[in-house]
């Protein structure tokens, strides 16, 4: 009878460890590359939300003759809740909001939903009724402040920017 020699098949422990090491390195590289990939998406979303908000404010002014929260406006005291309602509901000639459209409440709504700031995830609004600045100046001022997210709105100029303050890159305020 002949003895059959069995050949050893499979991988050695060293080969398995090398493959696992390579896979670990590749996984680390992939995770590190995707960790910051949402930053670009947040920036684009921020730009889009600011543009939508600015357009809604311009439409409001074209219908009413002033921006929300100005002295001529129904919300001249600058209530943030009423400001959001003025842009998301129907309004009358004075700017008073209402959820249903009538012959008196015929303007708007200018937004289906009030946008959030995608960097902080907030849709809160800080309303400044006193100042009237050029957008570039306003953005510099806001980016040096202690904004906690949401929006910074200047009623006299109608300018709006992200209220992120100095904890975020200053270019975020200028979009």
Q: What string of pLDDT tens digits covers the 175 residues of the chain? A: 566 656 667 778 888 889 888 998 888 887 777 766 666 788 888 889 999 999 999 999 999 999 999 999 999 999 999 999 999 999 999 999 999 999 999 999 999 999 998 888 888 999 999 988 888 888 888 888 888 888 999 999 999 988 888 777 666 666 6
Longest CA–CA span in the chain (Å) reads: 110
Instruction: Please count the residues of the chain.
Output: 175
- Domains of the chain by residue range: 41-172
- pLDDT, residue 40, reads 75
Question: Model's pTM, two decimal places?
Answer: 0.76
Phi then psi for residue 96, to 5 deg, are: -65, 130
Tell me the C-alpha distance between 13 and 10, whole Å: 10
Q: Which of 49, 67, 1 is nearest to 172 (CA)?
A: 49
């Amino acid at each position: 009878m002949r003895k059959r020699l069995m050949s050893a098949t499979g991988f050695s422990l060293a080969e398995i460890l090398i493959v696992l090491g390579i896979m670990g390195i590749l996984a680390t590289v992939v995770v590190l590359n995707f960790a910051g990939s949402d930053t670009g998406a947040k920036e684009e979303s921020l730009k889009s939300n600011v543009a939508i908000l600015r357009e809604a404010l311009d439409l409001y002014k074209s219908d009413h003759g002033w921006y929300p929260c100005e002295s001529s406006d129904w919300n001249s005291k600058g209530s943030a809740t009423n400001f959001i309602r003025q842009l998301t509901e129907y309004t009358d000639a004075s700017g008073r909001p209402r959820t249903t459209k009538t012959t008196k409440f015929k303007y708007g709504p200018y937004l289906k939903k009030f946008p959030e700031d995608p960097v902080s995830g907030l849709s809160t609004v800080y309303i400044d009724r006193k100042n009237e600045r050029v957008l570039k100046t306003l953005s510099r001022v806001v980016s040096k402040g202690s904004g906690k997210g949401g929006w910074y709105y200047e009623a006299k100029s109608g300018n709006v920017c992200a209220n992120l303050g100095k904890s975020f890159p200053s270019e975020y305020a200028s979009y």
